[in-house]
Amino acid sequence: MTEESTKIAKIWSLLNCRQDPGALDVGTARRQTPGGRKKRSGPPSFCLLFLAYPISSSTIYFLTPGSRKMLSCGVCTSNVQLSGKVAIVTGANTGIGKETAKDLARRGKCTCSQLTSADVSPLTVIVMVLPRLGIADWFPFRWFTGARVYLACRDMQKGELVASEIQATTGNSQVLVRKLDLADTKSIRAFAEGFLAEEKYLHILINNAGVMMCPYSKTADGFEMHFGVNHLGHFLLTHLLLEKLKESGPSRVVNVSSLAHHLGRIHFHNLHGEKFYSGGLAYCHSKLANILFTKELARRLKGSRVTTYSVHPGTVHSELIRHSTALKWLWQLFFFFIKTPQQGAQTSLYCAVTEGIEGLSGSHFSDCQLAWVSSQAGNETIARRLWDVSCDLLGLPMDCVSSSIMD
């Protein structure tokens, strides 16, 4: 590799700083302005991290034509079929979550009582092609079996529309919508209770939903919105569904994080932003928490048939930036270097379905390959302390996993 290529590769490793895990409305948010809390509109370092991708990409793209290949997105090439499997995708009503759910739903096989295994008639060909054409409704009989995919959304109306779209596109009628508000632990517990009563198995849990750079507010339980939704909400959901994941093994948990975790720190004395607050940094802190949670969960699940992964989807055009006017303009200016939601979903899908990566449980991925994390993200002491604090805040026993897994 030439010196120029080496420099380009180093620059590229720092790009793709934005993530959209499926926009999640603030929902039960309660805006707060605690006395004595220092407000900050947004740190320059956070903005620069987001500027790095489009500016650097533009320079590399136009100055070195040979580097354009390096800017291509990772693609999940696995053709694993998920017939009979059950999956949950949070924040699946839009963005990356929607595309993730759509891909999972189409991973099945055609079945038809009117066809035999030896039938090679034109009808067989048509049935095989229908999922790709999005005209599954033309056939009056059930002809496709894929995964049963649950869209866990706060906005049920949007969720139902997306479910209908996915059903029509993939031919999979087993796309279901259930209400989940990650800003309210009562809603999380109600979702888990309903799912456990409805399903015998759970093979894939993709913790994809999130909020970003929203004004200072708290969840229904008094947690800072980013920390409460992006970390604590998924922490609780995973805990409540863990026994089902174990019983269904091999199973996987995928946590959508971000390259922005490099700017994150876990300030245990200010987890709820009451002493000082920045929407940009709060997002970074929560994305760091996602990786720490993934690594600690993997450690506690070692020896089980449940594996966990964290992913950085890349800089994706979606609704997550709705709270930042600056980023909206930036995305429009450099739209040709921003990933589509479908491209952003590839790494989540890679970790959810690719065979042979079980030994990499707890690892972080970007563009469908292993990615480096910050020193904070690799700190086991911080990960264990965050686990204990999270359990305490949610009223869970601190050994809620280890005691049941390692007996």
Q: Which residues are catalytic?
A: 283
d(CA 85, CA 108) in angstroms, rounded, equals 10
Residues whose CB falls within 8 Å of the CB of residue 42, separated by 6 or more in sequence, listed in order? 213, 278, 279, 280
Return the number of other C-beta atoms located less than 10 Å from residue 342's C-beta: 18
How many CA atoms lie within 13 Å of 267's alpha carbon, on the beta-carbon side? 18
With 0-12 / 13-18 / 19 or more C-beta atoms within 10 angstroms meaning exposed / middle / buried, residue 404 is: middle
Find tokens 């991708």 and name the residue. Answer: 53
The single residue listed with the structure tokens 């970007």 is: 366
CA distances from 8 to 66, 69, 364 (A): 10, 11, 22
- Backbone phi, psi, residue 210, to 5°: 180, 170
353, 80 contact by CB (below 8 A): yes
b/e map of 210-232 (b: 16 or more CB within 10 Å)? bbbbbebbbbbbebbbbbbbbbb
Look up residue 398 and give its amino acid: M
The secondary element (H helix, E strand) that includes residue 366 is strand 364-366
Task: Check if the beta carbon of residue 46 is closer than 8 Å to that of residue 212.
Answer: no
What token pair was written down for 196? 């456990």
Distances (CA, A) of 179 to 92, 160, 201, 405: 11, 10, 19, 29
In this structure, the chain runs to a length of 407
CB 46 within 8 Å of CB 284: yes
Structure token digits, residue 231: 């970390």
Task: Tell me the pairing of strands 144-145 and 251-256.
Answer: unpaired
DSSP 40: E
CB 211 within 8 A of CB 192: no
Contact at 8 Å (CB) between 51 and 330?
Answer: yes
